[in-house]
Amino acid sequence: MRKKINLMCIVMMLFAFGARADEGMWLPYSINGQNLADMQRLGCKLTAEQIFSFNQPSLKDAIVQFGGGCTGELISAEGLLLTNHHCGLGQVQAHSSVEHDYLKDGFWARSKDQELPNEGLTVFFLNYIEDVTDAILKGVTDKMSESDRDAKIAENGKRLTTEKKGTRDVRVEIVPFYHGNQYILFVYDVYKDVRLVACPPWGIGKFGADTDNWTWPRHKGDFCMFRVYTAPDGSPAEYSKKNVPMKSKHFLPISLKGVQPGDYAMVLGYPGSTDRYSTSGSVKNVIELEDPAIVACRTTKLEQYRKHMDADPAVFIQYASKQASVSNYWKYSIGQIKQLKRNKVMEKRLEQEQAFRNWANADPARKAKYAGIFDEMDKYWAHQSKYTKALIYHREAGWNGSEAVYFSLRFRQLNNIIESKTASQDKIIERASGMKKAVQDFFKDYNKALDRDVTIAMLNLFYKDVDHSQLPVNLRKVGDKSGGDFTAYVNKAFDKSIFVDENKMNAWLANPKSLAKDPIFMLMYDILQSYWDLSEQAEKVDCSRADRLYMEGLKEMQKDRNFYPDANFTMRLTYGSVQDYQPADGVTYSYYTTLDGVMAKYKPGDWEFDVPQELIKLWEKKDYGRYADKNGDLVVNFITTNDITGGNSGSPVIDAQGNLIGLAFDGNWEAMSGDIAFENEVQRTICMDARYLLFIIDKMANAQNLMQELKIVQ
């Protein structure tokens, strides 16, 4: 029987509380009992219904999935939306040019008619949830193979999704929890008219860039503002000049009070992925294979990006968002390796696994149920270790290394139609015409010289680092003949291919023919086919059953443990407090930073540490207005003990009364192992102070039209 989730009671089914309050990415519709009591002990004044309700406006109605990878929140009655600068960077970059460099100078719409539309940008509002575990597992038995089990679950999921969606224009997702031991259905309203309203200059929103990324102390105004528009009747709609600003069901007032050590802090958002219940084999694979491969590939790509971006302002604009995307998880992977080792995460996993063995072997029924699961896991990871590095290189240095190669992936289906001769030439041309916008968008932000150098460097690295038996066939042949130097090969390919020349591409769209002789297209196919072959080999050994049983057993063995589910890009609530921390012996980091710290880092002309002259003038005069703290300083960033990860970028930091006090944007270096193991003593969420947000809008940008929309509380 399907069970509608009881907003106040289901936590007893989902979790047993027992760990520190700052650890845990909680399902917000399931808070009650001990969870709520602990939140109140920390200072929370809100009820469960005020946080999450389908019966009345609540905090959850102000929270959105933003752009498929971040979080945002409504901060006005007219759909004004706040998120991180790095979450909106792609849209800002798309509107920028050398003549109108919104990246460098910022953007401020002085009226709603100046707000800029963004094709393809969406926000999701959660409007319904249901535990559908029984329905999804109907007909599933312990005797099934994993492939048969997956097929049955997919069949049940497809049927249930169709039933729940009906004729409504909504997004329905059925998401597994606890390694497939539970399934929950989510229904979202999708809004497709989201317009850029404001963005601070690069020297504020991106201050510190790569050097400061994933570290504390920080000094960044990491925010961007959009507005959600609806049809005149309030329903979601595609962009139209007739659309109107959304009438917010709930929005967050912004507090001027500031933060002090011990203050309650709550984050609502959409964390992307954690692996807190993984085994030692998984951790070892990350440390020894996955992360080193990512670091090597992205280091090589970033070297080429910087060479071209530093030499040409136009290229800097084209590649600012791309470089930030590559760089973010390049540095993350470096930090994760270091901190997984430093925090001895693999050793702790091994200890937990031995405790599990002892517990299982102490009871005949348990021994029989869990027999062999670690053998399955060991076999799986021994097998995976043969393929991990090669698969990552295929992705990072192969079909995702060169932009042209990656772009050519989009033409596979059309080329299949051409070669199969299943459609007339007129139909083929019609389909090709539908790709003109994608082609235009690609070449707008494409630099052939940069991509040429990236492609050469990535293929050279690919050939050098990967076992030759696991290389794509033709790539290996070229490398063998050239001694591993792909310069001539890439130069020739770039001279001939339609995927690096807009004129050639447009000529092809007008008269599409087989791409079998296009060198970039064939390089893509060579890499992709090799990737498929390796993936098929890697997937011959599976441990899904063992992982599922281990998760089930852990919950049984540790009945008092805080078994919140791993992050999976569903709405979560975390709670903690504002606190400093000690990253090393004899070192203490304060819980906040100020504008004085920004100026201490200031380097005129430096792409990472330059700042706008308007900000310097305000700092020199100490003209902070009502946004200064009691000491007359302007607080820029602060840290809390909240538990977040990627996807939480842009999440609101909310005080005990439900007001916005900050904007979450990063984690700290000492806890880069946090996606796999939460570090109680040092894990921190880095937040932009709400007073800095208001200061930039009011004092620096003088955007009084926006200030008038906001509800500001003391």
At 481, the amino acid letter reads K
**Token pair for 677:** 């193991």
**Token pair for 411:** 């033409």
**Of the listed 22, 222, 453, 547, which one is catalytic?**
222
Other Cβ atoms less than 10 A from the Cβ of 324: the count is 18
Task: Please confirm, yes or no, whether 649 is among the known catalytic residues.
Answer: yes
Q: Is the peptide bond before 57 cis (omega within 30 degrees of 0)?
A: no
What distance lies between CA 72 and its chain's CA centroid?
12
Q: Is the dihedral of CA 648, 650, 654, 658 positive or negative?
A: negative
Length of the chain: 714
Please tell me the distance from the alpha carbon of residue 394 to that of residue 473, in angstroms, as a whole number.
12
**Of the listed 86, 219, 250, 394, which one is catalytic?**
86
Q: Please return the burial class of 604, using the count of CB atoms within 10 Å of its CB with bins 0-12, 13-18 and 19+.
A: exposed
Are 196 and 118 within 8 A, CB to CB? yes
Please tell me the distance from the alpha carbon of residue 673 to that of residue 682, in angstroms, as a whole number.
11
Task: Please confirm, yes or no, whether 113 is among the known catalytic residues.
Answer: no
End-to-end CA, the chain: 49
Task: Please confirm, yes or no, whether 394 is among the known catalytic residues.
Answer: no
**Of the listed 321, 649, 651, 673, which one is catalytic?**
649
Element spanning 423, H or E = none
Are 345 and 283 within 8 A, CB to CB? yes
Among the listed residues 616, 712, 706, the one whose alpha carbon sits nearest the alpha carbon of residue 661: 712
Fill in the DSSP letter of residue 651.
P
Looking only at the bridges linking them, the beta strands covering 712-713 and 254-255 are parallel
Please tell me the distance from the alpha carbon of residue 76 to that of residue 83, in angstroms, as a whole number.
13
| Residue positions annotated with a catalytic role | 86, 222, 649
